[in-house]
């Protein structure tokens, strides 16, 4: 049952819409002004909002902007008695789904609502909420609600339905292929092939045949005709990862495919026409490679029609708890375990860690932790964190386990206190420098000092 919020200072209009929508099977909430509506939005997520334009104190457009900040996936329909072209343009720029005048035809409104909700549910173009976590947003296989990721989701929704070539930029492990998949799955090509190829992972002498295929007898071992990946992707999307690694000779041939949508197999005499969308990705500065002469400028501009930058995990730390929860659930199911959460201290360690390998590294850490954990909660000792890609693990504590056992919480607190005291001694009491030595934030160190009652 879709949830709809009706916002209008006209009680008669509110009651009319509530009755009409309830009869159509929707769950309806009403608010008489934008302030009450925002309170509703903070308590509950709505699939669709119908709001008046002219309201006391806060108008519909201002309310629309505020809604999009906390719930960018919510569809908004604007209703007004004061229509103007300028207002319509502003509304569309702010992300309104549709804009209709009062005195509307009821069936038209029903149709607009139905189409909007079908678009949201069937095409999955909007952010979806993870079951049981209303504050956690995912899009496709990506998880995160930080401003950086919401911007990525927004760009995907805007460009997915266009045929434009896209260049995805981001460090290794940020999820560039997931972005490419999300674009494909939200495009008109979604029922056609999605074909990924790593330009740096295929031997140089095989890359051309992988791209374009070959004819029987064109070289030793070519016992039959073989289509290349561009043919396999016909009608769909081809994802060229690590595009910066592409050899100059293949850059020329790729340029022809991009410009003319044609190519030839190795040993072939006929041009093959292909309709395929090209999405490329790199963790390098392609502009710099163009300046150095190692990447063709014309190809660069052809591929970089729409750039999408994925922020590294260290710049969106608010997403770490959400992603961690997602991977704990994923690998608990996969390994047949019932691990439901992560300890507070273990989460603090993750929040303080710089993640040079980004989301891929976090996934690896959680997969390993779930595999090793014997309780129903991930504890710090099962987190193996490295610094600067070196195997610099958390130091082990050497002691003999007594027959009577130990109090784990007390032992961990005692060891933590010793490490902090040694860091403070080494830095002569400088909390800032001690935090750097311990690889935690200053605020985290201050919190720990208070928690374990160290007066320094």
What pLDDT is recorded for position 350?
93
Q: Does the pLDDT at position 52 exceed 50?
A: yes
Q: How confident is the model at residue 141 (pLDDT cuts 50, 70, 90)?
A: confident
Q: What is the pLDDT of residues 16-47, one digit of tens each?
A: 898 888 888 888 999 988 888 888 888 888 88
Q: Which of 160-164, 208-212, 365-369 has the highest mean pLDDT?
A: 365-369
69-83, 167-181, 185-199: least confidently modelled range: 69-83
Q: Which of 100-104, 223-227, 439-443 has the highest mean pLDDT?
A: 223-227
Distances in Å between the Cα of 158 and the Cα atoms of 67, 105, 125, 175 are 19, 29, 9, 19
Q: What is the mean pLDDT of residues 261-280?
A: 88
Q: Does the pLDDT at position 286 exceed 70?
A: yes
Q: Does the pLDDT at position 135 exceed 60?
A: no
CATH number of this structure's domain 398-456, picked from the four choices 1.10.10.60, 1.10.10.10, 3.40.50.620, 2.30.30.100: 1.10.10.60
Tokens (6 digits) for 446: 């201050």
Q: What is the mean pLDDT of residues 131-143?
A: 61
Tell me how many degrees the CA angle 327-182-337 measures, rounded to the nearest 5. 15
Give CA–CA dist 120/28, Å, rounded.
18
Q: Does the pLDDT at position 136 exceed 60?
A: no
Domain 143-309 indexed as CATH 3.40.50.300: yes
The residue among 413 and 349 whose pLDDT is bigger is 349
pTM, 2 dp: 0.58
137-146, 150-159, 367-376: least confidently modelled range: 137-146
The CATH number that domain 3-122 falls under is 3.40.50.2300
Indicate if 143-309 has the same CATH topology as 3-122. Answer: yes
CATH number of this structure's domain 314-394, picked from the four choices 3.30.365.10, 1.10.8.60, 3.40.1260.10, 3.40.50.300: 1.10.8.60
What are the domain boundaries of the chain?
A: 3-122, 143-309, 314-394, 398-456
What pLDDT is recorded for position 403?
77
Work out the mean pLDDT of the chain and round it to a whole number.
82
Q: How confident is the model at residue 133 (pLDDT cuts 50, 70, 90)?
A: very low
């Amino acid at each position: 049952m879709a949830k709809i919020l009706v916002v209008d200072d006209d009680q008669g209009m509110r009651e009319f819409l509530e009755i009409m929508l309830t009869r159509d099977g929707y769950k309806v909430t009403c608010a008489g002004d934008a302030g009450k509506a925002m309170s509703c939005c903070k308590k509950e997520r709505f699939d669709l909002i119908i709001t008046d334009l002219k309201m006391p104190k806060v108008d519909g457009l201002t309310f629309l902007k505020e809604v999009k900040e906390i719930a960018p996936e919510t569809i908004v329909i604007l209703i007004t008695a004061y229509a103007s072209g300028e207002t319509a343009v502003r509304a569309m720029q702010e992300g309104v789904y549709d804009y209709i005048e009062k005195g509307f035809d009821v069936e038209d409104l029903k149709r607009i609502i139905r189409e909007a909700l079908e678009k949201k549910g069937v095409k999955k173009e909007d952010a979806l909420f993870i079951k049981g976590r209303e504050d956690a947003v995912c899009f496709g296989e990506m998880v995160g609600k930080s401003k950086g990721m919401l911007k990525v989701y927004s760009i995907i929704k805007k460009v997915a339905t266009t045929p434009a070539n896209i260049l995805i930029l981001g460090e290794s492990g940020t999820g560039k292929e997931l972005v490419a998949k999300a674009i494909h799955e939200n495009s008109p090509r979604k029922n056609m092939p999605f074909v990924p190829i790593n330009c740096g992972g295929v031997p140089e002498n095989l890359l051309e045949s992988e791209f374009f295929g070959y004819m029987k007898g064109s070289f030793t071992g070519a016992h039959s005709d073989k289509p290349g990946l561009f043919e396999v992707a016909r009608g769909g999307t081809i994802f060229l990862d690590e595009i910066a690694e592409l050899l100059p000779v293949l850059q020329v041939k790729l340029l022809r495919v991009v410009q003319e949508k044609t190519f030839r197999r190795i040993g072939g005499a006929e041009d093959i026409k292909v309709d395929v969308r090209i999405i490329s990705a790199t963790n390098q500065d392609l502009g710099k490679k163009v300046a150095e002469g190692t990447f063709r400028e014309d190809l660069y501009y052809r591929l970089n029609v729409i750039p999408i930058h994925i922020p590294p995990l260290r710049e969106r730390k608010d997403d770490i708890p959400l992603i961690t929860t997602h991977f704990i659930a994923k690998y608990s199911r996969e390994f047949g375990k019932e691990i439901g959460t992560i300890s507070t201290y273990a989460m603090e360690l993750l929040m303080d860690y710089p993640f040079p390998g980004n989301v891929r590294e976090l996934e690896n850490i959680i997969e390993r932790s779930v595999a090793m954990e014997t309780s129903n909660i991930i504890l710090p000792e099962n987190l193996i964190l490295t610094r600067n890609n070196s195997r610099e693990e958390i130091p082990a504590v050497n002691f003999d386990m007594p027959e009577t056992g130990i109090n784990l919480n007390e032992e961990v607190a005692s060891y933590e206190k010793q490490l902090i005291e040694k860091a403070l001694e080494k830095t002569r009491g400088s909390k800032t420098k001690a935090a750097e030595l311990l690889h935690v934030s200053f605020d985290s160190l201050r919190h720990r000092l208070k928690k374990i009652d160290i007066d320094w």
